[in-house]
Amino acid sequence: MAECGRKALSLLEAARSRYESLQISDDVFGESGDDSSDNPFYSTSGDSDSDNYIAESGHSGGTGGGSAAGPPGSLSRSQAEEEGWTETLQDVTVPPYNDTYGPAQKMPATATALDFFQLFVPDNCIQNMVTQTNMYAKKFQERFGSDEGWRPVTAQEMKAFLGFVTSTSVHRCESVLSIWSSGFFSNQSIALKMSQSRFEKILKYFHIVAFRPSQGSNQGLYKIQPFLDSLQQSFSCTFRPSQTQVLHEPLIDEDPVFITTCTERELRKRKKRKFSLWVRQCTSTGFICQIAVHLKDGQGTDGLATLKNKPQLHSLVAKQLCQNISGKNAIIFTGPSITSLSLFTEFSKQDIYCCGLLSTRKSDCTGLPQSMLVCGSTPAQRGQSRIMMKGSMSLISWYNKGHFKFLANAYSPTKKGLIIKRKSGEIPCPLAVEAFAAHLSYICKYDDKYSKYFIFHKPNKTWQQVFWLSISIAINNAYILYKMSDAYTVKRYSRAQFGERLVRELLDLDDCSPTQ
């Protein structure tokens, strides 16, 4: 038993050492999360989406796979040779990162939670909410009749309004109105700051943009686009990400606890989101550097709604997210819906290097050899891999209780890595596979932590859903900057304490110390 314990400890130490060499920094968030065995990008289950093409198409072939039909756009063996794909491997070197990394400005040790939050939502932004809300209320009442209970909102009230809604993430209550109730989620300590009727009036008229602009009137997000633009600019100005970043959709649908406890009937009653949100995220800290929102219904001036092909849509989203990092030698990790040879080739011309998971069902496989995409009939051994190259681009087929395909030019195909699992021990793999698994598993742990700031208020309007989701991201980024500042060395607040302190500061309560 003692020998098994020593072996497990040595494996964990080896894993930590290798993850540190790949720029993984758990210390930024303090406590480490649970082991992410449910990583959507990296799974060791035999029914993985990564490659089930033979089972779908009904074909089978040998290891070469030349006789099996491949996914649309893939190349036969002769076509692949003509296009320059070869099994002769050569070393690939990524140039050093051409940018600095970390917070762009030094915050004082006396900085409060509100100071960090207002790096992203400053006073002028809140004042704009005040102006637009009052304009909308005036226009609404001119059209539908006066509202005797309404009076123009002030900046202090708007901060309190933000604080009340944000408190739903701290106290995990789904309805913000429960603050004033006598039930389990009531919170009399903050309820006295504003009456429920006043809060409901502000909620009724709350707006970021009161009226549709004369230009761009078809843009579905016109009511929130100025705020998103301001938020994006503040993300770029306050933090510079590390060389390794990831493009993905964060977990934003529901609280995981609710999903596991609610009934099927309750799930059916909940409306599906009408938008998707993609982010570019620093893998060393979890800081979300850029966001891209796409409406699933309706027409948009950006042309996204006209794209019916999902790989095309996701490719365009990826280009939008990466438009500010060209020429910096950044390394981008992508999921199957984004990974494609054409996109990676285009990125390489901009000095953006990539490593992505491939799926024959979700990815655009145009220009890739069929022999690497179709599973062979001969059983593979765990850790076995095959690699083909075209220029600096590597196409990897790796087996671990299922076939996994990767496309990469960010890591040399000649270098080996290890996947270290607590139960299975060491599993050999190409370095690109190890790097992908390490960085993406860390992002999954980050998503678990991010859910602590998920605002549970559920408005019906899509633009309001996007707004509160953006506020959640801003709070999370604020906490990351707090953890990296001198202020954290003075008062080491946990995520929950930081969130509660922010709520109390937004409400301008005298006692801003977090409850234990």
Averaged pLDDT for residues 47-74: 50
pLDDT in tens, 68-77: 567 888 999 9
What is the β-pairing status of strands 239-240 and 244-248?
Answer: unpaired
**Tokens representing 303?**
């042309």
pLDDT in tens, 87-103: 999 999 999 999 999 99
Please name the residues in contact with 480: beta carbons below 8 A apart, sequence gap of 6 or more. Answer: 28, 29, 239, 285, 286, 287
State yes or no: pLDDT of 28 exceeds 50: no
* Burial call 28-41: b when 16+ CB within 10 Å, e when fewer: bbeeeeeebeebbb
pLDDT in tens, 206-258: 999 988 876 654 467 889 999 999 999 999 999 999 999 999 887 665 444 44
State yes or no: pLDDT of 335 exceeds 60: yes
Which pLDDT belongs to residue 375? 78
* Burial call 88-109: b when 16+ CB within 10 Å, e when fewer: eeeebebeebeeeeebeeebee
What is the β-pairing status of strands 352-358 and 403-408?
Answer: antiparallel
The residue with tokens 């637009």 is 132
pLDDT in tens, 264-299: 545 444 556 788 889 999 998 989 999 999 887 654
CA-nearest of 407, 443, 414, 439 to 51 is 407
Which pLDDT belongs to residue 488? 95
State yes or no: pLDDT of 330 exceeds 70: yes
Give the whole-angstrom CA distance, residue 324 versus residue 487. Answer: 30
* Burial call 200-214: b when 16+ CB within 10 Å, e when fewer: ebbbebbbbbbeeee
Q: What percentage of the chain exceeds 70 in pLDDT? A: 74
Compare 181 and 510 and report the one with higher pLDDT.
181
pLDDT in tens, 113-170: 999 999 999 999 999 999 999 999 999 999 999 998 899 999 999 999 999 999 888 7
- Average pLDDT value over all residues in the chain: 80
Domain residue ranges of the chain, discontinuous segments joined by +: 103-215+453-507, 268-452
pTM: 0.82
pLDDT in tens, 380-409: 888 899 999 999 999 999 998 888 999 999
Which pLDDT belongs to residue 24? 40
DSSP letter (8 states) at residue 239: E
DSSP count for the chain of H helices, then E strands: 18, 12
Count other C-beta atoms under 10 Å from residue 379's C-beta.
7
Which pLDDT belongs to residue 125? 96
Which pLDDT belongs to residue 220? 75
Q: Among 21-25, 194-198, 241-245, 453-457, whose mean pLDDT is lowest?
A: 21-25
Q: What percentage of the chain exceeds 90 in pLDDT? A: 53
Cα 392 to Cα 148, 382, 406, 412: the distances in Å are 69, 26, 14, 9
CA-nearest of 499, 481, 466 to 227 is 466
Which pLDDT belongs to residue 252? 62
Which pLDDT belongs to residue 258? 41
